[in-house]
């Protein structure tokens, strides 16, 4: 038995042991948590308003103008304190929502973006994030990932299992304080596990891009781990939603269809697209239409399966040879309009749904600190240890753990799902948003501390 076989057997044993241990821990947590009692909570919802005046187009354009302008200003300001522009854009979206502008100027939402206009902004925001993830897929070098497939899979899934267990254990403490008797502990614990397992793939990709790290060995493995992490986390979330809605079979079917979809893209579609682009050469009008058509079909398929459209767009971009002339030209033409105009719409939408005013007491802010600490220990610690076991040096493993601890937009999407299903309360939702922002803003300074990204531009 050679060394390579022994190493593979050891990795398989670690993987199986990790999953088995997580199942055992969650079973014990669930058994203990079912005996907990919860207080009655006062639910606070944002008033929708009923503004009458200009049509939705005017309000959407006004919102985009405000968030793009403020995002550019804050992005420049945050650059001076070592943060990438994306952080300023996220903060701009929150500043225009009820947490800041709505608090300073009551009724401002009815003027800036009435409830009737919000769905139009949501469509623009979703389309912007789909295009952005498509561009990130175009930049992904699959050939570089292929040499470390086993390590990438193990690292990414350890980065799910460890925070998932931490989230389930944390649920034992949170459930009596910030949940409701209407929520089953099993659903609450499962959701907390998934929520702490998320890596903000779009924000991570943007940080790597801003720091010129997306095509370095660290950037490649970080993007691959984040992609596998979030794709798996979305499948887990589908299972949780199915359990919460008493449809376990639906959640498991999502997992099966997602695996089949990934296999079809990489085994069938990728060779066809590669041969087609090698014959067409430069980016023509027909080539552009074909690539966009493929992206849209993949996005629709992913959304229909239940793993979110952005993963379909990203995976279709990833199967396109990143060094082809068509891919390079398309990246160059899309990157500016998507990142400057369309992506801020997503920040505006998430900001309008965030209410920091619900976290009012010292005890609640201390609880936020506990959530941040547990989320960081699970995500960073799990990734670091797994990366070291798979041969990465301490410096690279530490940087990878820091990157995987990035949350943000994907976390907000998950939290909104939990809020819509009444699994989490508005108060816990706001606390989790604080956690997402804190872990995201810590990424760049800690990454610079490891020595990575010092020569990259911040925007």
Of 89, 72, 309, the residue nearest 207 (C-alpha): 89
Q: Tokens standing for 247?
A: 């449809």
The residue behind tokens 């187009």 is: 57
pLDDT band per the 50, 70, 90 thresholds, residue 41: very low
CA angle 318, 301, 280 (to 5 degrees): 45
What sign does the CA torsion over 320, 305, 226, 391 have? Answer: negative
CA angle 272, 274, 280 (to 5 degrees): 100
Q: What is the pTM of this model?
A: 0.74
Query: In this predicted model, what pLDDT tens digit does every residue of 70-110 receive, in sequence order?
Result: 988 988 888 787 676 777 888 888 888 877 887 788 777 66
135 near 331, Cβ under 8 Å? yes
pLDDT at 98: 79
Of 75, 81, 69, 133, the residue nearest 459 (C-alpha): 75
CA 24 from chain center: how many Å? 27
Query: In 3-state terms, the chain is what percent helix, strand and coil (to 5)?
Result: 75, 0, 25
pLDDT (average), residues 296-315 = 85
Q: Tokens standing for 145?
A: 């990932």
For a pLDDT cut of 90, what percent of the chain falls above it?
Answer: 19
pLDDT band per the 50, 70, 90 thresholds, residue 400: very high
pLDDT band per the 50, 70, 90 thresholds, residue 346: confident
5 near 380, Cβ under 8 Å? no
370 near 435, Cβ under 8 Å? no
What sign does the CA torsion over 61, 62, 68, 71 have? Answer: negative
Residue 181 has pLDDT above 80, yes or no: no
244 near 188, Cβ under 8 Å? no
The residue behind tokens 């614990």 is: 189
207 near 183, Cβ under 8 Å? no
Could you tell me which residues come within 8 angstroms of residue 107 by beta carbon, excluding any fewer than 6 positions away? 49
pLDDT band per the 50, 70, 90 thresholds, residue 52: very low
432 near 424, Cβ under 8 Å? yes
- Neighbouring C-beta atoms of residue 62, cutoff 10 Å: 15
As a whole number of angstroms, the distance between CA 331 and CA 345 comes to: 20
Query: In this predicted model, what pLDDT tens digit does every residue of 408-454 receive, in sequence order?
Result: 767 877 887 788 788 888 889 888 988 988 998 888 888 888 887 66
Residue 45 has pLDDT above 50, yes or no: no
pLDDT at 248: 55
Residue 304 has pLDDT above 80, yes or no: yes
The residue behind tokens 């639906």 is: 250
Of 275, 374, 390, the residue nearest 326 (C-alpha): 275
Tell me if the domain spanning 141-321+354-449 has CATH number 1.20.1530.20: yes
pLDDT at 142: 66
Domains of the chain by residue range? 141-321+354-449
Residue 48 has pLDDT above 90, yes or no: no
Q: Tokens standing for 44?
A: 């606070």
């Amino acid at each position: 038995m050679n060394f390579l076989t022994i190493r593979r057997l050891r990795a398989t044993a670690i993987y199986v042991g990790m999953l088995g241990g997580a199942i055992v821990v969650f079973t014990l947590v669930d058994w203990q948590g079912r005996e907990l009692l919860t207080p009655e909570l006062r639910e606070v919802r944002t008033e929708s308003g009923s503004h009458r005046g200009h049509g939705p187009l005017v309000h959407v354009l006004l919102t985009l103008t405000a968030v793009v302008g403020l995002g550019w200003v804050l992005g420049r300001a945050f650059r001076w304190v070592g943060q990438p522009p994306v952080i300023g854009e996220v903060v701009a979206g929150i500043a225009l929502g009820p947490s800041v502008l709505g608090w300073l100027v009551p009724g401002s939402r009815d003027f800036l973006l009435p409830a009737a206009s919000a769905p139009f902004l949501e469509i623009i925001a979703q389309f912007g994030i789909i295009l952005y993830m498509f561009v990130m897929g175009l930049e992904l070098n699959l050939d570089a990932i292929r040499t470390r497939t086993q390590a990438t899979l193990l690292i990414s899934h350890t980065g799910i299992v460890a925070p998932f267990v931490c989230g389930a254990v944390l649920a034992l403490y949170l459930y009596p304080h910030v949940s409701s008797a209407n929520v089953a502990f099993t659903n609450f614990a499962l959701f907390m596990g998934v929520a702490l397992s998320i890596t903000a793939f779009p924000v991570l990709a943007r940080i790597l891009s801003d720091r010129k790290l997306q095509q370095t060995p660290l950037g490649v493995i970080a993007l691959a781990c984040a992609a596998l992490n979030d794709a798996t986390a979305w499948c887990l979330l589908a299972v949780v939603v199915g359990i919460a809605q008493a449809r376990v079979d639906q959640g498991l079917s999502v997992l099966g269809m997602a695996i089949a979809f990934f296999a079809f893209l990489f085994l069938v579609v990728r060779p066809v697209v590669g041969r087609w682009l090698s014959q067409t050469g430069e980016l023509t009008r027909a080539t552009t239409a074909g690539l966009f058509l493929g992206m849209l079909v993949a996005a629709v398929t992913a959304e229909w399966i239940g793993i979110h459209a952005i993963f379909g767009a990203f995976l279709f971009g990833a199967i396109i040879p990143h060094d082809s002339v068509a891919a390079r030209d398309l990246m160059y033409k899309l990157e500016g309009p998507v990142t400057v105009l369309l992506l801020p719409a997503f920040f505006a939408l998430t900001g309008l749904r965030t209410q920091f005013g619900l976290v009012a007491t010292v005890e609640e802010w201390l609880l936020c600190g506990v959530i941040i600490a547990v989320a960081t220990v699970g995500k960073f610690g799990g990734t670091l240890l797994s990366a070291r076991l798979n041969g990465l040096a301490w410096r690279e493993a530490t940087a990878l753990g820091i990157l995987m601890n990035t949350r943000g937009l994907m976390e907000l999407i998950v939290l909104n799902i939990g809020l819509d299903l009444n699994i989490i309360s508005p108060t816990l939702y706001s606390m989790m948003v604080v956690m997402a922002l804190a872990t995201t803003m810590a990424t760049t300074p800690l990454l610079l501390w490891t020595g990575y990204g010092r020569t990259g531009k911040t925007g």
